[in-house]
Amino acid sequence: RETAQLAGAIGREFDYALLAAVALADEATLQADLDELVAAGLIYRQRRVRDDSYVFRHALIRDAAYDAMPRRAQKQTHARIAHWLEQRPPAQLQSRLAQLAHHFALAEQYGGAVRYGTDAALLLLERALHDDAIVLAETVLVWIGELATPERRPAEIGISRILTHALMSKYGWADARVKEAAERALRLIEGIDDARRTVPTLWAMAFYHHVASNRESVRTLTAQLLLLSAASEEGGLGVACHTMHGIACWIDGGYRQAAAAFEHVLDRYDAAEHANHGYVFGLDSRVWAMAGLANVRWFADTDDGAAFALAREAVARARALNHIPSLGVALMYLAFLHHYAEDRAGARAVCEQLLGLSHQYGLPAVEGYAAMVHSWSTCDLDAADRVLEGLRGMGCMLGLTYLASLPAETEARAGNHGAALARIEACLLLCDDIDEPYYKPELLRRRAQYRAAAAAPDGELIRADLDCAITLAERAGMRRSALGARVALAAFDAMSNASAVVSPKQASPEVSST
């Protein structure tokens, strides 16, 4: 009976080595008890290379055995189990962190439960097991409530960061649950003068507002991040903060400033020191900066090859790190480049990789953006409209001024220029509504193109669109966009009765747009 109770305390499956280590009976008695339990059909043996294990034939049998143990004995047994597990070699311990944490909690030794539970939740996050990470992180928060008051706050800050990143990956970057977790973490760091704790929390809050397209909040938080990182001796914090700054500048239409910030990151990123950024901040700084710089350079320059090479290097770096969220973002940005280049086959191939990754690991926001570009590559208007609605439902407003223009290109490709024009008009209105100007010169050029396809095109409106596109592109540092709008304007002016804008491929002036 005592052996069955002890085994029940370990769990439904239990190792012989662990059972023998914590049992009070001698090994001969223990083995005889196990043989009797096997013969009775209550447990069965599993042969393994290194050590046998046993499994209760049914969870209810395990529960009955465990519940028969007095409460005080349960606590003492869990303490013995926890302390034995804690002494295992690091390689063995890592695979049993969650088990160790639960035994400490059942022994009511909550310091150990929180410490190992936090380590286990981080390991689950690293393995992209987001559901398990969320469940364990929320359990750790309960255990923290049992700690002495001075110990609670630092423990909550650590697990809250893990919970926020896991929620982002599972539910989408701008989900209400992400905001709630990030705001809770933000309250925890109030008054703390430790950049190593405050910066990752502010960074997560900035990332939420970035994807939700709350641009003013992003600017405020990014300014705070830059000040904090400048005052800190932790160089890695500055690398992460300048990455966020570069992304914010890009979406604000500041291509020169974005390029400078990204180049700053790539110059200072240390592969050894900063390899943990994916788990501290949610994305690897070098991968995100490199992928962002590839997109910025596409519009700031006319060298297609250089932009693609940078984007592909970002993908390779993410694969080498084996950090799934960073790989998802790198592939997503590469898919955008294929769209800019009007390469439907290339976009489709990248998006299919990305959709497979998203389905495997559960990355809803990345999946939505990938599905949007995929719908463009397959000319599927119905899918595009469904995906747009889904992104809005998740709160992912970032980039919708760009993404919602993709169905307009599909409409125009089918000769539905009126429908294409209506979609572009909506995108331009959204630029002002959410203060997202980074793609506006391209939208103006598209509107001019679709206006020119009308039965009676209005030359003044077409010229106004292209003039505005040139002005905005030059101000933003979008050399390719300015050049494309100039070529379109020259072509329109050369045709006395123009019926369409001969628009360059976004990549270079000599290739026509679809």
Reported as a single tens digit per residue, the pLDDT across 277-309 is 998 899 999 999 999 999 999 999 999 999 999
Length of the chain, in residues: 514
Q: What is the pLDDT of residues 169-222, one digit of tens each?
A: 888 888 889 899 988 988 998 888 888 889 999 999 999 999 999 999 999 999
Q: What angle do CA 301, 350, 241 make, to 5 degrees?
A: 55
pLDDT of 503 strictly over 60: no
pLDDT tens digits, one per residue of 52-106 = 788 998 999 988 988 999 899 999 999 999 999 999 888 888 889 999 999 999 9
* pLDDT at residue number 47: 77
Q: Is the pLDDT of residue 363 over 80?
A: yes
Alpha-carbon distance values, 311 to 141, 314, 340, 364, 479 (Å): 39, 5, 13, 22, 19
Percent of the chain with pLDDT over 70: 96
- Which pLDDT score is estimated for 92? 84
Handedness of CA 190, 115, 161, 229 (dihedral sign): positive
Residue holding tokens 């989900």?
175
Query: How crowded is residue 467: how many other Cβ atoms within 10 Å of its Cβ?
Result: 15
What residue has token string 């006395």? 496
Evaluate whether 118 touches 88 at the Cβ level (below 8 Å). Answer: no
8 Å CB contact between 7 and 19? yes
Q: Which of residues 510 and 329 earns the better pLDDT score?
A: 329
Comparing CA positions, the residue from 423, 428, 400, 399 lying closest to residue 411 is 423
pLDDT at 483 > cutoff 90: yes
Give the separation between CA 409 and CA 121, rounded to whole angstroms.
Answer: 44
List pLDDT tens digits, range 77-90.
999 999 999 998 88
Least reliable range by pLDDT among 36-50, 220-234, 348-362: 36-50
**What pLDDT shows up at residue 470?**
98
SS3 content of the chain, % helix, strand, coil (to 5): 75, 5, 25
pLDDT value at 361 more than 80 = yes
Q: 13-22, 233-242, 396-405 — which one is most confidently predicted on average?
A: 396-405
Q: Which residue has the higher pLDDT, 196 or 434?
A: 434
397 backbone dihedrals φ, ψ, rounded to 5°: -90, -15
Contact of 168 with 364, CB cutoff 8 Å: no
Q: Which of 206-210, 423-427, 478-482, 490-494 has the lowest mean pLDDT?
A: 490-494
Residue 359 pLDDT more than 80?
A: yes
Question: Tokens standing for 18?
Answer: 């662990």
pLDDT > 50? residue 439:
yes
Query: pLDDT tens across 11-36, in order?
Result: 888 888 888 888 878 888 888 888 88
Q: What's the predicted TM-score (pTM) here?
A: 0.84
- Separation CA 427–CA 418 (nearest Å): 14
Residue-level pLDDT at 292: 99
Orientation of helix 381-393 relative to helix 406-413, angle to 10°:
170
**pLDDT at 191 (0 to 100):** 82
The mean pLDDT value for 358-365 works out to 90
Higher-pLDDT residue of 149 and 496 is 149
Phi/psi-derived region of residue 213, left when phi > 0, alpha when psi is between -120 and 50, beta in every other case = left
**Residue 166 confidence class, pLDDT cut points 50, 70, 90:** very high
Report the C-alpha gap between 101 and 143 in whole angstroms: 10
pLDDT higher than 70, residue 513: no
pLDDT beyond 80 at 336: yes
pLDDT reported for residue 49: 57
Q: Which residues contact 359 (CB under 8 A, 6 or more apart)?
A: 367
Residue 506's pLDDT is 42
- Which segment, 148-157, 227-236, 403-412, 447-456, is predicted with the most confidence on average? 403-412
1-69, CATH topology level: Arc Repressor Mutant, subunit A (1.10.10)
The residue extents of the domains of the chain are 1-69, 71-171
pLDDT band, very low/low/confident/very high, at 499 (cuts 50, 70, 90):
very low
Computed over every residue of the chain, the mean pLDDT equals: 91
Provide the pLDDT for residue 197.
85
What are the b/e assignments for 93-108, b being 16+ CB within 10 Å?
Answer: beebbbbbbbbbbbbe
**pLDDT value for 501:** 42
- Alpha-carbon distance 398 to 264, whole Å? 24
Structure-token pair, residue 238: 């500055």
CA 166/CA 388 separation, integer angstroms: 24
Q: Kindly report each contact of residues 177-183 with a partner whose C-beta sits within 8 Å and lies 24 or more positions away, as own/partner.
A: 178/208, 179/208, 179/212, 182/208
Q: What is the pLDDT of residue 495?
A: 77
The pLDDT-based confidence of 498 (bands split at 50, 70, 90) is very low
Instruction: Pick from 26-35, 72-81, 126-135, 256-265 the range whose average pLDDT is largest.
Output: 256-265
